[in-house]
Structure 1
Amino acid sequence: MPDVLHSLERPELFEKFKAQLYKDFELAGLADYAPKFISNNLNDIYDAVLNSVLLIERKDSTSLMTLLYRIDISKQQLKTASQNSTNNLKQVIAELIIKRVLQKVILKEKYSS
């Protein structure tokens, strides 16, 4: 994952990331599936998001698509990312979720000052 993801190591950005991610899960009707983070370590974040994706997918794929729509990840982005990755689809989805939510947080921070 790109270096921008290492900005999650900044405690204030990590807190905003967690809040935004929870908000997106909640607005998609999936608050119970929102990831629980044990640290701001990128691998831990990825594992937690991947676990949530797997749980939601087991529930039903429509809920997963609702979440992706809510987070603003298009089918085209998903298709392109999966074609350019050696990871499985769920791993690609987890990466896209982390990247997009972090992008939202960084953009809000940049333009709110």
Structure 2
Amino acid sequence: MQKAADDLMGASSEVVQGCLNTPNLLRDLILQLIKDFQTAQIPLPLDAEVAYSFEGLCEHLVQVIELHLDKGGTLKNLLNRVDLTEKQIRKMIPNQLNAHLRSLAELIIKRELQKVVIRYWYRQTSENS
């Protein structure tokens, strides 16, 4: 499970969608996204009871981020809260972050899903001990 969590950052859309088809993972991912966006002071109107697709989540995040940037906001707090490294961002988005919001949304979802999967893995490990 730990290896699977590590591989999520480079995973295809299909692999991520497979994870999202697991109801508890999707719910916990949405709750994690809401929490981290709120901490970065960016409202994220998602419903933890809705079965979002990976594509749907990406589109939703792009809209929210665009609106935030249009209002003069920055992404520094969000990127720090999500815990995306500069190396991860540069690898996926070599220039002009604002021009590649779709790629950024994918990175955010994958990193947040990675957090959720790691939490599950540690929970299962401690329950089996």
Same fold flag (TM > 0.5): yes
Q: Which residue of 1 aligns with 2:27?
A: 15
Question: How many Å separate the matches in 1 of 2:22 and 2:33?
Answer: 16
Structure 1 or 2, whichever has the larger Rg, is 2
1:112 — aligned with what?
Answer: 123
Displacement over 6 Å in runs of 4+: none
CA deviations over 1:41-89 (Å, ceiling 9, x no partner): 2211111111112112212342x12101110012222111113xxxx42
- Counterpart for residue 6 of structure 2: none
Tell me how many residue pairs correspond in the alignment. 107
Per the TM alignment, residue 102 of structure 1 is displaced from its structure 2 partner at its CA by 0.5
Q: Which residue of 1 aligns with 2:68?
A: 56
- TM-score normalised according to structure 1 size: 0.82
Q: CA RMSD in A?
A: 2.0
Structure showing greater relative contact order (alpha-carbon pairs closer than 8 Å, 6 or more residues apart) = 2
TM-score by length of 2: 0.73
Is 1:77 paired with 2:91? no
Calculate percent identity across the aligned residue pairs. 30
- Give 1:4 deviation, angstroms: 3.4
List gaps (5 residues or longer) in structure 1.
none
Gaps of 5+ in 2: 1-10, 125-129
